[in-house]
Structure 1
Amino acid sequence: MSQESAIWPQGMPPEKSALLLKLFTILDDSSDDSGQRLADQVFTSDGRIKNGTHVFSGTVEIAGSRKRAWDAWSTRKHSVLRVYSRSQEAADDILFLGSLAATFPNGRSATGEFCARIIFGFSEAQETRIKSFEVWADATPFVTATMKD
């Protein structure tokens, strides 16, 4: 997860920026337990992930969301470019721009940008978690890279 050049809104609570970075670190990890770590460490028990037509709601679905996630990818590296919030008081609902660089089993690679919205909430233990994560992206560079000649 790259964030060296990310632009964050003034007053962004450090626990929220750390959680955003943890989210992408786990999404970029092909370990078998990555889905369970998302469910246990990142999302609320009623959390929701929506990426295109893929929707995962609640602990069980989020824990299982990564089972086939690496079927089409060899490597993935997300980068946060810029994070926006309506105000310092509204840092519980953010939009951000990011990029994803990936390689595929066929040896090709691609990079594309995405936009996402995160709504923060709290775990049962009152720890900051993500309640909703919705992503919008143009998959064309990735689809093109996986196509056969």
Structure 2
Amino acid sequence: MSSSYITAHTAWPTSVAVKPEVQRLLAHFYSLLDIPDTSVGHRFAEEVFAKDGVMFGMGPGFDGEAEIRKSREYAWIDYTSRRHEMLRVYAHDALGLDLLVIGRVEMGVRNGRTVNEEFVARFVVDEATLESKSPNGDDGVRLKFSRVWSNMEPIMAAMREQ
């Protein structure tokens, strides 16, 4: 897989081979999160998640294609930039489809402050899509579940600063 800032320092599991198409999908997920465009939810619905996928951020979840399409409508209200990096990936299953990611994100907030924070995320790949090809030319592999956890206090503190 070609290296980007998202995966440049990623340590992938050594006990399980995570398929290259799954690695590309996770990198694509984070690259979309870093695009300051409120319509990115449409790309999540079309390029990242299965039709019945579920996506949890730091707030309420988005269940299914219609909700995922709306998932980024308010994502940039408080932020000017985001830059995600995946640092470590752990696999729960022998196929490398249930994954835990430890990462770091740098976020610029509207008042000019910058916050660097670690996060943990879980991804479950939709096994039925593993061997598929998408009509838009990508691998076709999709997520059926994602959830992220992070300490929001440093971000909230930065937002309160003048």
Q: How high is the TM-score relative to the length of structure 1?
A: 0.92
Pairwise CA distance, 1:61: 0.6
Kindly state the Cα deviation for residue 38 of structure 1 after the two structures are TM-superposed: 0.5
Which residue in 1 is equivalent to 2:8?
4
* Structure 2: runs of 5 or more not aligned: 133-139
Q: CA deviation at 1:12?
A: 1.1
* 2:144 corresponds to 1:131: yes
Identity %: 31
How many angstroms apart in 2 are the aligned matches of 1:50 and 1:108? Answer: 26
Report deviation, 1:112.
0.5
Q: CA deviation at 1:146?
A: 0.4
How far does residue 31 in structure 1 lie from its aligned partner after superposition?
A: 2.2
Match of 1:111 among 113, 116, 119: 116
SS of the residue 1:114 aligns to = strand
Q: 2:33 aligns with which of 27, 36, 52?
A: 27
- The separation in 1 between residues aligned to 2:30 and 2:118, in whole angstroms, is 14
2:135 matched residue in structure 1: none
Kindly report structure 1 stretches of 4+ aligned residues shifted beyond 6 Å.
none
The count of corresponding residues between Structure 1 and Structure 2 is 147
Q: Give the 5 Å matches for 1:1-149.
A: 1-10=5-14, 11-87=17-93, 89-121=94-126, 122-123=128-129, 126=132, 127-149=140-162
Unaligned runs of 5+ in 1: none
Q: Deviations over 1:33-91 (max 9, x none)?
A: 3110010000000111112332101111101110110000000001000000035x231
Q: TM-score, normalised by structure 2?
A: 0.85
